[in-house]
């Protein structure tokens, strides 16, 4: 099964739009692939990351019918956080969906 | 999305969980319950999921089904719990693991998945179940009391973490109620326990319901992180 990264990027983008609308007083979260989401110079603080991750999980379920847990031990154990940039998150989600499809 | 409020009750096949499920169905809630076995004779409109509350994939699948079917969740009552009354020196590790899995991990998993569904509406009520065995520090209930002490800590911390999402998290600590959970406890021990309460009688379903109702009231939106014990403990 081929995982369509464009669709994943669409979900992530929709969540970013939703959060930017909810937080008009904060600097907007960018949707560029290399935009830093979390970590040094990231646009999300720790609570913002919680909202973001929950939103992406819900979006994946609603838009792609995929029930994945992003905040797994596997994600946390990585040397490079999958939540660092939009690209790294999209790659990580594609990997999880691929694993789910092969299981 | 249904207009009726949607509630999840864990441990709904018997005892207090079953009575809560039936009561809130009668109050007009959409009620989804779970337990390891599917119960007989629950009213029409009740939705059951046969699962172990400590089984993460099964719990996630239940919430995915709720999200697809109802698109919302208003209330979670985390009633499922198991006990083992035994001296600590005679308690096998398997029993410890089983109790922690159901009472602590199960409560946590349901809180986590419920909060994900509730946060979209920025409103939710979570009621967990503790016990008077925690403040009374009952001999013979080391692991059960420890598991419920963990539930109280979880309640207090989640109350802070989930306040941001408009979700309150509280707990009720029932005094002994004549349910299956007490089946293996001797009458003399129960009477001794009741003598330690300010109000010396067994608890009843209505006592628990009264506290749950209080936590669910719209006016209780400033009440979170609290444990209410019954019987004056």
CB B65 within 8 A of CB B48: no
A57 with B120: Cβ contact below 8 A: no
- Residue for token digits 């004056």? B232
A67 with B120: Cβ contact below 8 A: no
Whole-complex ipTM: 0.84
Among B61, B64, B58, CA closest to B101: B58
The chain B residues in contact with chain A (CB within 8 A) are 60-61, 64, 67, 116, 119-120, 164
Close Cβ partners of B173 (under 8 Å, ≥ 6 residues apart): B129, B130, B131, B132, B134, B135, B148, B227, B228, B229, B230, B233
pLDDT value of position B133: 94
Dig out the tokens for B82 from the structure: 């198991």
pLDDT value of position A73: 86
C-alpha–C-alpha distance, residues A40 and B97, integer Å: 40
B116 with A54: Cβ contact below 8 A: yes
- Residue for token digits 């110079």? A41
User: Given a cut of 70, is residue A62 above it in pLDDT?
Assistant: yes
CB A60 within 8 A of CB A93: yes
Dig out the tokens for B21 from the structure: 């499920």
Q: Which residue of B has its CA nearest to A61?
A: B64
* pLDDT tens sequence across B26-48: 999 999 999 999 988 888 889 99
Dig out the tokens for B229 from the structure: 């014990």
Residues of B belonging to the active site: 144
Determine which of B57, B119, B166 to mutate to test the interface with A (most A C-beta atoms within 10 Å).
B119
pLDDT value of position A2: 67
pLDDT value of position A15: 97
CB B37 within 8 A of CB B13: yes
C-alpha–C-alpha distance, residues B62 and B48, integer Å: 10
B15, burial (CB in 10 Å: exposed 0-12, middle 13-18, buried 19+): buried
pLDDT value of position A29: 96
User: Given a cut of 60, is residue A76 above it in pLDDT?
Assistant: yes
What parts of chain B have a pLDDT lower than 70?
1-2
* pLDDT tens sequence across B198-231: 999 999 999 999 999 999 999 999 999 999 999 9
Would you list the DSSP string of B106-138? HHHHHHHHHHHHHGGGT-EEEEEE--THHHHT-
Q: Is the pTM of this model over 0.90?
A: yes
CB A13 within 8 A of CB A5: no
- Min Cα distance B117 → chain A (Å) is 8
User: Strand order in B124-129's β-sheet?
Assistant: B46-50, B30-35, B6-10, B75-78, B124-129, B167-173, B227-229
pLDDT value of position B1: 54
C-alpha–C-alpha distance, residues B16 and B7, integer Å: 15
């Amino acid at each position: 099964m081929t995982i369509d990264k464009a669709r994943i990027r669409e979900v992530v983008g929709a969540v970013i739009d939703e959060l930017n609308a909810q937080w008009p007083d904060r600097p907007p979260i960018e949707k560029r692939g290399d935009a830093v989401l979390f970590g040094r110079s990231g646009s999300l603080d720790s609570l913002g990351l919680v909202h973001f991750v929950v939103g992406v999980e819900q979006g994946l379920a609603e838009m792609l019918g995929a029930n994945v847990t992003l905040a797994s031990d596997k994600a946390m154990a990585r040397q490079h956080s999958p939540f660092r940039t939009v690209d790294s998150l999209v790659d990580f989600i594609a990997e999880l969906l691929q694993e789910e499809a092969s299981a | 999305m249904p207009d009726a409020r949607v509630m999840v009750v864990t441990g709904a096949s018997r005892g207090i969980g079953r009575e809560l499920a039936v009561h809130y169905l009668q109050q007009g809630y959409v009620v989804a319950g779970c337990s390891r076995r599917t119960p007989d004779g629950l009213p029409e409109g009740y939705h059951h999921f046969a699962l172990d509350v400590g089984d993460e994939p099964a719990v996630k699948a239940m919430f995915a089904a709720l999200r697809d079917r109802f698109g919302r969740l208003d209330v979670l009552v985390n009633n499922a719990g198991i006990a083992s009354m035994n001296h600590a020196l005679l308690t096998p590790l398997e029993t410890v693991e089983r109790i922690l899995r159901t009472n602590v991990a199960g409560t946590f998993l349901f809180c986590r998945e419920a909060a994900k569904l509730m946060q979209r509406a920025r409103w939710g009520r979570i009621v967990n179940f503790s016990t008077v065995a925690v403040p009374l520090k009952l001999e013979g209930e080391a692991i059960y009391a420890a598991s419920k002490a963990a539930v109280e800590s979880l309640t207090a911390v989640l109350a802070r973490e989930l306040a941001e999402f408009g979700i309150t998290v509280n707990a009720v600590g029932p005094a002994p109620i004549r349910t299956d959970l007490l089946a293996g406890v001797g009458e003399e021990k129960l009477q001794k326990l009741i003598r330690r309460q300010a109000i010396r009688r067994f608890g009843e379903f209505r006592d628990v319901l009264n506290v749950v109702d209080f936590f669910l009231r719209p006016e209780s939106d400033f009440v979170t992180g609290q444990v209410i014990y019954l019987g004056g403990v």
